[in-house]
Amino acid sequence: MIRPLLLRKHIGVDKSSNFFILVSQFPNFFSQQNRMWIRGKTLGSGSFGFVSIAKTIPSSFPDDEEDQLFFDLPPIIAVKSAEFSCSESLQRERLLLHEFQNCPQIIHCYGADVSEEDGHLLYNMLLEFASGGSLADYVHGSQYGLLEEEVKQFTRSVLLGLSYIHAEGYAHCDIKPANILLVDDEEGNRTAKISDFGLATKVSKRRTGRKR
């Protein structure tokens, strides 16, 4: 059984209680009744936890305009989950993706929540679903490799994403085909988007350029 606890930006622990207390700067964010999504099959797993496909459930819960945007989820999303007690890296990644939310070449994060599933408390990051899978899977599944036009298109997307990341003062530190996701829009256009910021590091502006 899934009991989602809605989460905005900050998670804290009430040391006087045996249960986690979610802390938010936004009012009326906490609800145990409103289920936003239903977990589907597992798409992959790693040291961070696991990723599942999920179907969202429309909600009319929040009256606040900003809250309504948070709940305006597409029909299908990807959910990246980890045990709450081991979710520090995932929580950090969610905050980084919030900083990069205006870049169309970086996978979009819709927010996060916490759910109780089969007796486990899970931290869940709600992500844009990449229907094309990863670039690594796409290359391995291509009998004759990538078309020249695809190489140009994907390379351009990745470079634009990296440029945005570096302009914000970060280094991704783990760029590889498995961390480049292919997202298709409603018109069938495919965009390569950078994902997995678990190793991303903040760097000084001076270190991003060459020394003279």
- Token pair of 48, please? 């961070």
Q: Which of 72, 118, 174, 196 is catalytic?
A: 174
Catalytic residue list contains 174 = yes
Rounded Cα distance, 131 and 128, in Å:
9
Instruction: Mention every residue, 6+ apart, whose C-beta is less than 8 A from residue 43.
Output: 51, 52, 53, 78
- Token pair of 195, please? 């994902």
- Token pair of 66, please? 């900003």
Residue 204 near residue 169 (C-beta atoms within 8 A)? yes
Q: How far is the CA of 172 from the CAs of 72, 99, 166, 168, 181, in angstroms? A: 28, 13, 8, 11, 15
Instruction: Mention every residue, 6+ apart, whose C-beta is less than 8 A from residue 181.
Output: 107, 130, 132, 133, 134, 135, 192, 193, 194, 195
Q: At 27, which amino acid appears?
A: P
Q: Which residues are catalytic?
A: 174
